Structure 1
Amino acid sequence: MGYLRYVFLLWVVSLILIPFTSITIRVTYLRDGSDDELIAIVAGLFGLVNIKRETNLIKLMMSLTSGVEMEHEIEATKKGRPIKESSSFLNYKEAVWEFRRALRLYRRYRKAIDFLRERITVKELSWETSLGTGDAAVTGMAVGLMWTLKTAVISILDTRLRNLTLGAVEITPSFDCAKFRTKFDCILRFKIGHAIIASIIIITAILKDGDTYE
């Protein structure tokens, strides 16, 4: 009986402490030429949770986007010889529908999103890029455009996130060869209790408005 009492006490203490513990998510995106890799590591609960997932971002986006056909072969005959050429097309109606659907979801769950966004801590956000086109003048213009893009993205993140710590944000020009390599890395941290509250807000919205969003 005494043993069971201690087990029950430990279980109660754990339930009390879990909402105050943090979940850490590290997101790393690497792209080198045409190769890319997305790595996500989730850790928390005093080391009991440690999950790592690696995937190809382009393949992931292709699997999630049913309206895009990346490799469509067309056979034709030219001077008596069959030829094949690759073409790609985008179902714009499907893309517009997905965009509007995402907007509806955001508006519906905005309270939960804003609640969690204001409590997420972003640490060591770094974004390093090496860029070259093989032509010095064009490379200079490309580097300028890349700086504009990075500045805009970081400004938006800094405005939308309360706790943002920047690491290295660099662009290294490569004037003697054509290359593109970029690495984006950041660490997100939030408390489990805040995630639970955000989930309750979402469930409340579903119960209030129903479970349809089409």
Structure 2
Amino acid sequence: MMGWLWAAAVAAAAVAALLASRVRIKLYFSRVGSDDHLLVEFRALYGIVRYKYDVPLIRFHGLIHLFDVKTERVDRKKDVLLDEKDSDISIENIQDFYRQAKLFTKRIEDFSGWMKWTVAKVRCTQLQWATYIGIGDAAETAIATGIIWGLKTSLLGFVFRYLKLDARPELLVQPQYNRKQFSVKLRCMIHIRFGLVLLAAMLLAVRFMRANRDYKKTKTKLESNPAG
């Protein structure tokens, strides 16, 4: 009997530890000249699950066919390249994604409320955002510097109305008076408890099943009484 109690206690402690663990996401983006680089690192369950998504190549082509993107997915724990692919992002892709996302969110009861609740559980523990701007003219560079400062503070003010910030953001806008330049370096780290991720997923699943059930009921009713 005592053995079963000990086993149950150990199992409960293990489950509690897993639920209390953090899901960490690191984001790094840089644009220097015409070279763009995006790196996303994902870590969960005390490092048992680790993945890195590396986008070393982003090429801009125009307003219709926007970008060519090369993506690498790496298992950081084993330091193994899992897959590598080239894809493109176009106006048509974005419009199709927007239509599907709109249909999905429209069917979910109070999706915006669920989203706000979930985002409020996410915490930002690091934010570094540096911009280097040069127009070629000192006066115009000074004006552009002020505009970028305003855009940054306004954007972050809006974001952190919903997202919790646990660290002071490190912001920099460095004017380059003697040359033309536009470079960006962004580093961000966020985390959320694994238990909250599961809870958010379950809440969304329940709302989706409820919406799907109501949709089927309404469809059946309309089919059985088309004149009504």
Band the TM-score falls in, shorter-chain normalisation:
0.7 to 0.9
Secondary structure in structure 2 of the residue aligned to 1:159: coil
Most deviating of 177-186 and 98-107:
98-107
Structure 2 residue identity aligned to 1:197 = L
Mapped partners of 1:19, 1:50: distance in 2? 17
Q: How many angstroms apart in 1 are the aligned matches of 2:185 and 2:29? A: 6
Question: Per-residue CA shift, 1:189-211, capped at 9, x if unaligned?
Answer: 10011000111111112211129
Corresponding residue SS for 1:117: helix
Which residue number in structure 2 is paired with residue 39 of structure 1? 39
TM-score under structure 1 length normalisation: 0.72
Return the letter of the residue paired with 1:69: H
Write the deviation string for residues 148-183 of structure 1: whole angstroms up to 9, x where unpaired.
210111111121223353321010000111111111
The higher relative CO (CA closer than 8 Å, separation ≥ 6) is in: 1
Query: Residues 141 and 100 of structure 1: is their aligned pair in 2 closer, same or farther, counting only changes over 3 Å?
Result: farther
Helix, strand or coil for the counterpart of 2:151?
helix
Q: Identity, % of aligned pairs? A: 20
1:110 maps to a residue whose letter is: S
What's the TM-score, normalizing by structure 2?
0.68
* Number of equivalent positions: 186
Query: In structure 1, what residue type is equivalent to 2:132?
Result: S
Contact 1:111 1:201 in 2 (8 A): no
Q: Do residues 182 (structure 1) and 184 (structure 2) align?
A: yes
- Aligned 8 A contact 2:116 2:162 in 1: no
CA distance in 2, matches of 1:191, 1:208: 26
1:162 and 2:158 matched: no
Give 1:146 deviation, angstroms.
Answer: 1.0
CA deviation after TM superposition for structure 1 residue 130, in Å: 0.8
> Structure 1 residue 123: deviation in Å?
1.2
Identify the match of residue 197 of structure 2 among 176, 195, 198.
Answer: 195
Task: Name the residue aligned to 1:171.
Answer: 173
Deviating above 6 A after TM superposition, structure 1's stretches of 4 or more consecutive aligned residues are 3-9
State the AA in 1 paired with 2:172.
E
One-letter identity of the residue aligned with 2:185: K
- Could you say if the C-alpha distance between residues 103 and 165 of structure 1 is closer, same or farther in structure 2, counting changes exceeding 3 Å? farther
In the alignment, which residue of structure 2 is the partner of 1:81? none
SS of aligned partner of 1:141: helix
The offset of 1:13, in angstroms, is: 3.4
> Contact conserved, 2:35 with 2:57, CA < 8 A, in 1?
no
* Residue segments in structure 1 that go unaligned for 5+ positions in a row: 72-88
